Amino acid sequence: MIDALWTGWRSQYLEGLTRQTAKDAQDQESVFTQILKANISDEDAFIVHRGELVFVILNAFPYAVGHLLVLPYRQVNDLSSLSAMESLELWATVTRASEILSTVYEPQGLNIGINIGRSAGGSVAEHLHVHIVPRTVGDANFMAVTANAKTISEPLNVTAQRIRQCWLETTMP
């Protein structure tokens, strides 16, 4: 028998999703493209790093404090659509962001992954993005099981400031 755990904390996130076919998703601007075109500050958008071809943004609905997304500026929906330069910068930035998170939060581990396509869990399937989630023993604690709630112990603006500061203060080898 499989037990179902209620994750009501995700309701705000799920309400923002629309049901659409993969083709429809490709034709629409992603939330990330909309953020980039909105002419808002990086601080207000929670963008913590900008490279030449890719950028890093905090996940607005984080699984854990420091949950980052690394993605190309150009809206593509799969790895094979990246140019060679985009791919190179994307993976170098994933590596760098992992180092930054390790410095700032000292996690005991990291989850790094990509969900390609809506059925694979890609909630923004039209814009490829790499998740980097710092993990510690016990970060998925009793609150999710007993209170149907997830605790995020740090506001996004504080997380963004800590990560930005570390990015600026450390240099790449």
For each of the domains in the chain, give its residue range(s) and CATH number, in order of start: 8-169 (3.30.428.10)
Structure pTM? 0.78
- pLDDT band (50, 70, 90) for residue 59: very high
Residue 127 annotated among the catalytic residues of the structure: no
Half-sphere CA count of 22, side-chain side, radius 13 A: 10
pLDDT, mean of residues 44-70: 95
CA distance 30 to 68: 17
* Model pLDDT, residue 36: 96
Distances (CA, A) of 63 to 10, 28, 66, 68: 10, 26, 9, 10
Catalytic residue among 67, 127, 129, 131: 129
Q: Which residue has the higher pLDDT, 7 or 18?
A: 7
**Average pLDDT over the chain, rounded to whole?**
83
Q: Is 13's pLDDT higher than 80?
A: no
Q: What is the pLDDT of residues 105-147, one digit of tens each?
A: 999 999 999 988 887 776 788 999 999 999 988 766 544 544 5
CA distance 16 to 119: 17
